[in-house]
Amino acid sequence: MALSLRTLAIALPFVFALHVETPGFVAWFNSLVEPDITPQAFMSVNATGFLITLVVAALAAMSREATVGVLAVAWVGFLMLANGLLHLVATLVHQRCSPGVVTGTLLYLPLAVLFIRAGVRECAVSWRVAIFAAAAGGVPMYVHGYLIVFRGSRLF
Q: In this structure, is the dihedral angle defined by the CA atoms of residues 15, 21, 23 and 26, taken in order, positive or negative?
A: negative
pLDDT value, residue 21: 79
pLDDT value, residue 22: 67
- Average pLDDT in the 122-146 region? 97
What is the pTM (predicted TM-score) of this model?
0.95
- Average pLDDT in the 100-122 region? 97
pLDDT value, residue 73: 98
- Average pLDDT in the 16-39 region? 92
pLDDT at 7 over 70: yes
Q: Give the span between the Cα atoms of 47 and 105, in whole angstroms.
A: 21
pLDDT value, residue 96: 96
pLDDT at 23 over 80: no
pLDDT value, residue 156: 79
The tens digit of pLDDT for each residue in 53-94 reads 999 999 999 999 999 999 999 999 999 999 999 999 999 999
Which has the closest alpha carbon to 130: 65, 71, 42, 79? 71
